[in-house]
Structure 1
């Protein structure tokens, strides 16, 4: 595994740490491959209930790695790179466990996309989310426009993009992009934020993420059908029975993911 990304599982939390601080954790082809490999490991591990994505150094992620971009010589290579890079945000969206991005410093361009693809964002007050694509004649990518417009009104998103806006942590929190702002070390706050997920029922959490990530693209009848189908399965689970027993016994439930 590449040393560009560190991985550790502790107390049911998978810690994925971008580790290229000299390049502000910008996304290279090698880093993308490492992130995808680690996400697969975390998804398959029964010991993991939530994933925290963070970074070493001064910033969360400064976007695409310029050295990688300079090696792209034709439209085929560019298309392949775009497909590979966007597969990271797609993987974060589709993984069957909740992902918390712990953001400090700059989350610029593709780094902003990584944070938005996560289910939750915890940020320290130094965090800045940059949309500087207009400065290089490009559009936001890795799903950024869709992900951002699902959290912020469309006129505001348009304004931010065409003006090349940098959004502060306070503004991001006010607009509903960020779940928590902290003055403490951001990973420490992300661990505290993840506590209720770790202690919660893993199977139902998985279905909550699945349904809510699709809720905007399905009609009410389809949503109701899927809810009823999933609920019928969960009503037969050991975790549901444990939850009922804990309720009547006035104690905290211990979920096992079955």
Structure 2
């Protein structure tokens, strides 16, 4: 299958998925979400790969959801439809019978950060910029962000990170246990190559059985979180604070929230 927003490459048992909208810092529009969902769903039946690497083309991993699409007045952005798509994407990726690695350089923000956190392993350059920054436009994390963040750091810390919405460097994210391995700038690919070589030489099937057991106990919870995110995001989209947050973002000013 041909994809417009993804690049797919496979070397041996390592399959690399590259988010490919570099002109938009790989922000995730409806088409990219659809293509990722379809690809990961089909990948459940693949027997040629053991490891899946997720990375971004150009200057960033992903700047998050496509703000321009959200601002469109042509009726192309339907929040209910988008949330339904994100539910399918998160579940397809979380239940993928492969070892998944997010390789982060540049920005991984919002929805992009949710996808990173859904991965089994996270590698990031020291200067990478990671942020669960939905709060800046008065929204809640989506794409399973609440669930994946909580799995990494626990509920109290997850709340703090969501509510602060601050940007962290790769080094800071590593210190907060959000990133498994921090890499010197410019050495991400070399480190990734070494890491994937180690993984493919490991007893991968045994590792995947453990993943299946552990994730199997959590899938229903993830579904509940995704349903909660969909309801909350739909409500927040029409709230005055969100409209103020978007206007402030577009006009590069500090928002004045009132709710």
TM-score norm. by structure 1 comes to: 0.77
Query: Which residue in 1 is equivalent to 2:104?
Result: 103
Query: Aligned partners of 2:210 and 2:26: how far apart in 1?
Result: 31
Q: How does 1:75-94 map to 2 (within 5 A)?
A: 77-94=78-95
Asked if 1:167 corresponds to 2:168, the answer is: yes
Deviation string for 1:6-36 (max 9, x for gaps)? Answer: 0011021001000101101011111112222
Give the aligned CA root-mean-square deviation in angstroms: 2.2
Query: Aligned partners of 1:188 and 1:39: how far apart in 2?
Result: 25
Deviation at 1:216, TM superposition (A): 6.2
Runs of 4 or more, structure 1, over 6 Å off, are none
Deviation at 1:203, TM superposition (A): 2.7
Aligned partner of 2:188 among 173, 186, 189: 186
Query: Aligned partners of 1:126 and 1:208: how far apart in 2?
Result: 33
Contact 1:29 1:85 in 2 (8 A): no
**Structure 1: stretches of 5+ with no match in the other structure:** 219-258
Q: Secondary structure at the match of 2:18?
A: strand
Bigger shift: residues 156-165 or 51-60: 156-165
Deviation at 1:162, TM superposition (A): 1.6
Query: Which residue in 1 is equivalent to 2:223?
Result: none
Query: Which residue in 2 is equivalent to 1:112?
Result: 113
Q: Secondary structure at the match of 1:101?
A: strand
Deviation at 1:217, TM superposition (A): 8.4
Contact 2:33 2:89 in 1 (8 A): yes
Contact 1:27 1:61 in 2 (8 A): yes
Query: Aligned partners of 2:27 and 2:135: how far apart in 1?
Result: 19
Query: Aligned partners of 2:25 and 2:87: how far apart in 1?
Result: 19
Query: Aligned partners of 2:102 and 2:179: how far apart in 1?
Result: 10
Q: Secondary structure at the match of 1:80?
A: helix
Alignment length (residue pairs)? 217
Query: Aligned partners of 1:63 and 1:194: how far apart in 2?
Result: 26
TM-score norm. by structure 2 comes to: 0.76
Query: Aligned partners of 2:27 and 2:87: how far apart in 1?
Result: 14
Contact 1:61 1:107 in 2 (8 A): yes
Bigger shift: residues 169-178 or 138-147: 169-178
Query: Which residue in 2 is equivalent to 1:17?
Result: 18
Larger Rg: 1
Deviation at 1:164, TM superposition (A): 1.7
Query: Aligned partners of 1:42 and 1:180: how far apart in 2?
Result: 26
Deviation at 1:215, TM superposition (A): 5.0
**Structure 2: stretches of 5+ with no match in the other structure:** 221-259
Contact 2:127 2:171 in 1 (8 A): no
Query: Which residue in 1 is equivalent to 2:136?
Result: 135
Asked if 1:126 corresponds to 2:127, the answer is: yes
Deviation string for 1:58-90 (max 9, x for gaps)? Answer: 11111111233234888x931111110232222
Contact 1:16 1:38 in 2 (8 A): no
Q: Secondary structure at the match of 2:206?
A: helix
